[in-house]
Amino acid sequence: MKFTEKSLSLSRRFIFSILSACVSLLLLFAAQSSSAFSNWYSEHIYKMLVSTYGRATGLLPFSLAELLLYLSAGVFLASLLYLLAKTIRKKAGWNNWKNFGLNLLAAAASLFLLYTLCCGINYGRTSFSETASLENVSYTAEELSAVCKILAEKTNELSEKMTRAEDRTALMGSSINEQAQSAMEHLGTLYPELSGYYPRPKGLTFPAFLSIQNLSGIYSPFTIEANYNSAMTEYNLPFTACHELSHLRGFMQEEEANFIAWLACINSEEDTFQYSGYLMGWLYASNQLYKIDYDAYRNTYDSLSPDVRADLNANNQFWEQYEGQIAEVSNQINDSYLKANGQTDGVQSYDRMVDLIMSHYWDYISNTEKEPMQK
């Protein structure tokens, strides 16, 4: 049988796609089967990828992932329309469609391999709560209410230091990216497992892409970038930037990324970051309190200053305008993705950061003679 140069090219792309997919699946299987392998990979190989590939993409002042998304969508649609037009004019046949399909298959296999190397393997690593020796505690509504009170008091205290816009919402300043980078690097001095280089996070140029999906941020494994929704009510921004950066240290579970972001914010030297951290901590904790003791929740909400409540009201108004079918579908996809990666609570796992906050404050609420520590 005689092979032409074109048929060999098609065969190579098909073989490349199959091999890439097989390598990815084997690595993911190894990661789920052995936390020792995942830990070693995350602490050595992935950390090296962040400090090299992530450092390179981090030099760009814009999100490379966002640009590539729009370019890829444009190239795909243009190629598809061009091929359809040629087919209608009978200038394209089966081989053209096969070539198009193999290009898509090779691209998908490449992205799957990048996802595996820069994200998927990390799902099998030992959790942050274990490495940081955080005990799993059981708590009552009264104890949760006590922590909500601590968080509310700190939020009110920090609120007085905020610069505010005409609508009374807090302004976080123009140096969020650099400050988030510094906050995470400082947290790495407190927790060795979080030490190392962090690229700057990036707000999206066209954040509506995330807003319509009800997403505050996203980690791009294809470019090793931490991206956040720059259109949100500003108090969200420091916390979200740190949340996405925590994924660049290999901690993929959402409740742990939330908790790491909270720690980074409250330990930051910036008042704006501390305000973001304590307010987000209160928000998650009080949402849990609302479910089990509404009166206690109402008391802690009423204790918030008018300026803090202005921030919360502005945040509610922002997200309400994006409620709809797209947001629901996005939420279902995210829920399925998290469950497929071992987070059995799905999107509810974000809320489980409250368990870690309770563990953080446990000694204090168990012994009121102690002062609550930041670490």
The overall average pLDDT reported for the chain is 89
**What distance in Å separates the CA atoms of residue 352 and residue 349, rounded to the nearest whole number?**
5
Residues β-bridged to residue 170: 164
Which two tokens mark 208? 């509506």
CB neighbour burial string for 217-250, b if at least 16 within 10 angstroms, e if fewer: bbbbbbbbbbbbbbbbbbbbbbbbbbbbbbbbbb
What are residue 356's phi and psi, to 5 degrees?
Answer: -75, -35
Closest CA to 202 of 192, 191, 210: 210
Count of Cβ atoms closer than 10 Å to residue 264 Cβ? 31
Task: Quote the pLDDT of residue 339.
Answer: 65
Q: What is the dihedral of CA 128, 132, 136, 139, to 10 degrees?
A: -110
Strands 202-203 and 217-220: unpaired
Task: Quote the pLDDT of residue 362.
Answer: 83
**What distance in Å separates the CA atoms of residue 189 and residue 291, rounded to the nearest whole number?**
36
Task: Quote the pLDDT of residue 372.
Answer: 47
**What distance in Å separates the CA atoms of residue 125 and residue 103, rounded to the nearest whole number?**
33
Q: What three-state secondary structure class fits 202? A: strand
Count of Cβ atoms closer than 10 Å to residue 128 Cβ? 23
Query: In the chain, which stretches have pLDDT less than 50?
Result: 1-4, 8, 347, 349, 368-375
| Residues 248, 219 contacting (CB under 8 angstroms) | yes
- Terminal-to-terminal C-alpha distance of the chain: 70
Task: Quote the pLDDT of residue 270.
Answer: 97
Burial class (CB in 10 A: 0-12, 13-18, 19+), 46: buried
pLDDT tens across 132-151, in order? 888 778 889 999 999 999 99
Closest CA to 170 of 56, 70, 271: 271
DSSP H helical segments within the chain, as ranges?
A: 5-33, 35-40, 47-49, 55-58, 64-88, 94-118, 128-131, 141-159, 176-190, 208-211, 236-246, 254-266, 271-292, 294-302, 306-320, 325-340, 353-366
Residues β-bridged to residue 164: 170
For residue 107, give Cα distances in angstroms to 15, 29, 123.
13, 22, 23
Strands 225-228 and 217-220: antiparallel
Which two tokens mark 372? 């609550």
| Residues 211, 158 contacting (CB under 8 angstroms) | no
